[in-house]
Amino acid sequence: MIKDLIKEDDPYLREMPEEYDFGKSLEYEPEELKNILIENMKHYVGYGLSANQLGISYKAFVMIKDGDPIICFNPQIKDYSEETAFVKEGCLSFPGLWFAVERARGVSVVYYDEEGEGKIGIFSELSARIFQHEMEHMDGELFTDNISDLKLFLAMKKRKIYLRRMKRNVKEQQKI
């Protein structure tokens, strides 16, 4: 089931989703939510996707780790590495917007899988970056929150050019 992404200016993205309670009868069973998130992450060509980006108010996200998708219910970051890196990243809620974000190179985490089994993990490099990005969604934060106004302005200018080109390419494809 492909769902529309919540638009970047929608205040819903700022709301903190509720904990996923495995013992309750909820709108989405864990396996069903996992499948919806994976299907939409693939459809929108992302490395991660939070439930709240689809209008589903649970603390849950999917992400790519070692080439495979994993689901993380009620995730937490327990520790951050001291070493950081600035790397360009984007967000499915902000199509075409890319800029360098400083993040820890490694994180130790806890979360639950679709069976409700607790997991402990140490993620590094790309998987650590994805986990940190998706955790921001769990806290009602956006990746644009921690960038200077000037850098955001410049990134938005580049985005406008990128989106204009994409629109032009679509029109040209439709002529063929």
User: Model pTM greater than 0.75?
Assistant: yes
pLDDT for the residue 176: 67
Contact present, 38 and 54 (Cβ < 8 Å): no
**CA separation for the pair 4, 2 (Å, rounded):** 7
Choosing from 114, 134, 141, 172, which is the catalytic residue?
134
pLDDT at residue 18 greater than cutoff 70: yes
CA-based nearest residue to 65, from 129, 141, 119:
129
Domains and CATH numbers, the chain: 11-175 (3.90.45.10)
CA-based nearest residue to 130, from 55, 77, 82:
77
Per-residue pLDDT reduced to its tens digit, 98-145: 999 999 999 999 999 999 999 999 999 999 999 999 999 999 999 999
| Positive/negative CA dihedral, 38, 167, 137, 76 | positive
pLDDT for the residue 175: 74
pLDDT for the residue 169: 82
Average pLDDT, the chain: 94
Is 141 marked active-site? Answer: no
Per-residue pLDDT reduced to its tens digit, 71-86: 999 999 999 999 999 9
Contact present, 54 and 3 (Cβ < 8 Å): yes
pLDDT at residue 22 greater than cutoff 70: yes
- Residue scoring higher pLDDT (170 or 68): 68
